[in-house]
Structure 1
Amino acid sequence: MSALAGTAPAITARSTAVIHRTNAVTRLIVPVPLTIVLLLTLDWVSAATALAALAILLPFAGLTPRQFWLRTLPVWIAAPLTGITMLLYGRPDGTVYWEFGLAQISDGSITIAIATVLRVLAIALPAVVLFVTVDPTDLADGLAQILRLPARFVLGALAGIRMIGLFLDDWRALELARRARGVADRGKIRRFAGMALAMLVLSIRRGTKLATAMEARGFGGATTRTWARESRLGRIDLALFAIGILVSVIVVWTSVATGHWNFLFG
């Protein structure tokens, strides 16, 4: 695993950012309390409070503005689309401004749409910001050593993730090879099907070789395995856990104090 660590593509260079000194498992678990809180209520105050906290903590995330917008772009696209659905088909209440068939825009649907957009952003953005800089090898070490997940499952998943880069390289090489042979000039659907079949065969062969190599090196054996790098939790991880809990408490308190708490299961 230490050998794999050297080949990991870094989203950001190893820097002195606070988030880079935390354990990968910590960054995976910290958004969970806030996510649970936001799933229990549907109101714009709780989501807006969570987004305000994210804006305050964002400078410590180790991302440049360009990296932040590029990595979170799918979230910014998905959130308004979700809001449009709720705007047209949400609970009708108050004044109705527009109606066509089942679609209806009213005071109630507008409120739900705004709350839904903010809720999606408040749930997804912290998870993306915290998890985008996680190295797969660091995460695998933490899952196996701290959370005690089965090593065979963790290392198999890590190997699969590492193969994604090779898959993309093989796809480009295969495409160039087919063009050089003059068999990729026409029929996009036929070309894609042929390349997909070739990649499937190549992936099966590579997976078989990788499984054999891992088994030959003792992966999945009955003996207790050792780890090249020790994964542990430190004070900075505890501080990040505390911040996550504190933000969740502030979100609940603000929503309840302003009278906007809307418990969905009550």
Structure 2
Amino acid sequence: MTAVLPQSRALASINPVSKLAAALLLAAVLVLSIDWVSATVALALELVLFCFAGVPLRTLVIRTLPIWLAAPVAGLTIALYGEPSGATYFQWLFMHVSDGSLALALATTVRILAIGLPGVVLFITIDPTDLADGLAQVARLPSRFVLGALAGLRLVGLFIEDWRSLELARRARGVGDKGRIRRLFGQAFALLVLSIRRGSKLATAMEARGFGGPTERTWARESRVGAQDLALVLMGAAIAAAAVTVSVATGSWNFIGAR
């Protein structure tokens, strides 16, 4: 089973497909330009909306921590190895810090935050089964693909338990106390074999129950979209439009196709 954050009142009635659409819409617009203005405007508006999302602050910080750590690392890499232009501040071997690389590093850092944070906030409140229902009924994706992906996602928790069981079994036999690197590869191979066998059995069981049949499927729970879903998508579009408008108005818009 996968751990899902209990849904807050602000996000409980929103269809998972609408959350996915809002996140993809915002990301699609932000990747069109490499500038810090559009990403900063989008990030500022997103942080305001996070206050009304109903997600506990501690949970929000913990779940988004990888993004907060990855964004500065990516920015530092761009600052050291990005395309140099303007005044040079530091140069050594392949590293070249200049005005252009620093501006590109800032734009990259803020853009990663602006794209990644709303995706995490929206997806930590999504149950995999609800998402599968929405993708099949609202987005009209093939049921065979949706159910296969759902089954695979549900097995992630089992893989973690299998890894722990393999580790305990090896230690019980006295072969898991030394050589961590060698043990890592051995356990990974054993988990791969176990996952292939389990996947084959699961596929056979699903086929036997008619999951791969050509007839149209029925669903136990109906997935609907309403006014809240439209409001979320419109908010995502409004944030994207505001970011582009401010960026163009300030002359900072830097379309990636023009590079």
TM-score of the two chains, using structure 2 as the length reference: 0.92
The partner residue of 1:39 within 2, 17, 31 is: 31
Residues 27-86 of structure 1 deviation map (CA, whole Å, 9 limit, x = unaligned): 111022322222121211111100110111002323211211211122112211221122
Task: Tell me whether 1:69 sits opposite 2:61 in the alignment.
Answer: yes
RMSD, matched Cα: 1.8
Distance 1:265 1:131 in 2: 30
Matching of residues 105-144 of structure 1 within 5 Å: 105-144=97-136
- Residue 31 of structure 2 aligns to a residue whose secondary structure is helix
After TM superposition, give the deviation of residue 129 of structure 1 in Å: 1.4
Q: CA deviation at 1:220?
A: 0.9
What is the distance in 1 between the residues matched to 2:182 and 2:42? 48
Question: What percentage of aligned pairs have identical amino acids?
Answer: 57
State which of 11, 16, 28 in structure 1 corresponds to 2:20. 28
Q: Deviations over 1:69-109 (max 9, x none)?
A: 21112211221122112212333333222222332222222
1:3 corresponds to: none
Kindly report which structure 2 residues correspond to 1:82-121, keeping only aligned pairs within 5 A, or say none: 82-121=74-113
Unmatched tracts of structure 2, length 5 or more = none
User: 2:4 touches 2:124 (CA, 8 Å); kept in 1?
Assistant: no
- Counterpart AA for 1:214: M
Q: Which runs of 5+ in 1 are unaligned?
A: 1-6
Give the letter aligned to residue 114 of structure 1: L
- 1: CA distance, partners of 2:171 / 2:110: 47
Matched residue SS, 1:30: helix
Question: How far apart are the structure 1 equivalents of 2:212 and 2:149?
Answer: 13
> In structure 2, the residue corresponding to 1:54 is in which secondary structure?
helix
Amino acid at match of 1:130: L
What is the TM-score with the length of structure 1 in the denominator? 0.90
Aligned partner letter, 1:264: I
Mapped contact 2:15–2:134 kept (Cα < 8 A): yes
Q: Cα 1:204–1:259, aligned 2, differ >3 Å: closer, same or farther?
A: closer
Shift, 1:181, TM fit: 2.8
Counterparts of 1:102 and 1:184, CA distance in 2: 42
Change (3 A) 1:166 1:98: same
Is 1:173 the counterpart of 2:165? The answer is: yes
Q: Which amino acid aligns with 1:158?
A: L
Match of 2:49 in 1: 57
Q: 1:118 to 1:208 in 2, by over 3 A?
A: same
Aligned length: 258
